Chains A and B, each alone.
Chain A
Amino acid sequence: MNRHRYRYLLLIAAAASGSAAAIERGDAQIELAQATAAVQTAERDDAARYSPADLDEAHAMLVNAQQAADTSAWRNVAIYAERAKVDGELASARARQHRAEAATAEIERSVDTLRAQLGRGGAP
């Protein structure tokens, strides 16, 4: 598991140990930067077309995180940023799934047509 993903578990583990309240500005800003990058990646993956609800949720969480940052509520920044990050990654994953399934369906129709053509021309 890479460091990027591992932060989710760190947040939970930190909360369980009672240290989550100590999230500092630097940590929150890293979370915010990662969330922004994840949302931008989802936009590049055309999630607005393939997974608009997930992308909308990611945008909403990112706005919440940015508003929390304006008031220096660093724990809230981290919480909302983590949510924006997973929402952005989910939007990207669903966009990839949709593209792959649509392309496969197109090829499948093509194969069916060719099989029918060959069938009418005499099976090998």
Chain B
Amino acid sequence: MTAPASPRLLLAGALGLICASCATTPPGPPPDVVRLEDQLERLHADPRIAGNAGPELANADAAVDTLARNARTLDAADYQQGVYLSDKLIQIAEASAFARYAEQRGAALGAERERLLASTAARSVAPAVAAASVPPPVGSASANLLALQSQLGGLESRVDERGLVVRVGNYMFEPDQAALTPTAQRSLDSLARALRAEPGTTVLIEGRGAAGDGQSAAARAAAVRDYLNARGVELARLDLAARPSPETTAPGQARVEVLIRTD
């Protein structure tokens, strides 16, 4: 039977354990905090993010700073909670900044698009062939389509082997809806006028959406058909179709192509 340890010996042992634990505690912030600080640094160094940083980045900064200052005093559960929240706040800051960046870029491109459309209309640009590899139709049918194309204002169009293709882009619809924007309606007015003046043409309205998103594509195609019909183009001339488009990857963002042919 061993003798019980004296209180002095127990105290010395406890002190020894405490000193040993002090010696093995790594200096500096915990790895999670270092990782979060590195992520924040990356966000601040990216001009697309730093230039579009809203309150979200300030929130992430504050959360990581608070966590870093208190990391050593938190229990495991609270520390993990702090890491979780800080991590998510950083991701929110990044996504929000990229959204603003894309929105600003979209606005600039939209202004550029308007300028280009105005240039196209003002100069009555000679009808273009969009795909260089696709030869345009030849003969009088082609001439009729080219003449019709020159009447379109505010719409992108091309003449290819199928006929005159007028593009009604995703941005011409209300977000995630089939409703045409007011600007798109004004643009389609010129198409309706041209179609009324050319009763011999046939019209196929194709909704082009992501695979599995035929409903959205069909709804947008129907919206274009109904608008043209409301502007005096006979319903019997307006056929509808919907098909997948490799360009469109997100559901709800279908575009519409109006294919016009001469008989």
Q: Give A residues with C-beta under 8 Å from B.
A: 1-2, 5, 8-9, 11-13, 15-16, 20, 46, 49-50, 79, 82-83, 86-87, 89-90, 93-94, 96-104, 106-111, 113-118, 120-122, 124
Contact = CB atoms under 8 A, between A and B. Distances in A.
Given A118-B120, A118-B125, 5 more contacts: A2-B55, A87-B88, A102-B253, A107-B110, A121-B128
B55 A110 contact: no
Contacts of A103: 102, 106, 170-171, 175, 253
A12 B102 contact: no
B119 A118 contact: yes
B89 A114 contact: no
Interface in B99-150: 99-100, 102-103, 105-106, 109-110, 112-113, 116-117, 119-120, 123, 125-126, 128-130
A93 B56 contact: yes
18 contacts: A9-B62, A13-B66, A49-B252, A50-B250, A87-B88, A100-B98, A100-B102, A100-B103, A102-B170, A103-B102, A104-B106, A110-B113, A111-B109, A113-B167, A114-B113, A114-B116, A117-B156, A117-B158
Given A82-B81, A97-B95, A101-B102, A116 B70 contact: no
Interface of B: 55-56, 58-59, 62-63, 66-67, 69-70, 73-75, 77-78, 81-82, 84-85, 88-89, 91-92, 95-96, 98-100, 102-103, 105-106, 109-110, 112-113, 116-117, 119-120, 123, 125-126, 128-130, 156, 158, 167, 169-171, 175-176, 247, 249-253, 255
Contact of A93 (B62, B92, B113, B169): B92
A12 B70 contact: yes
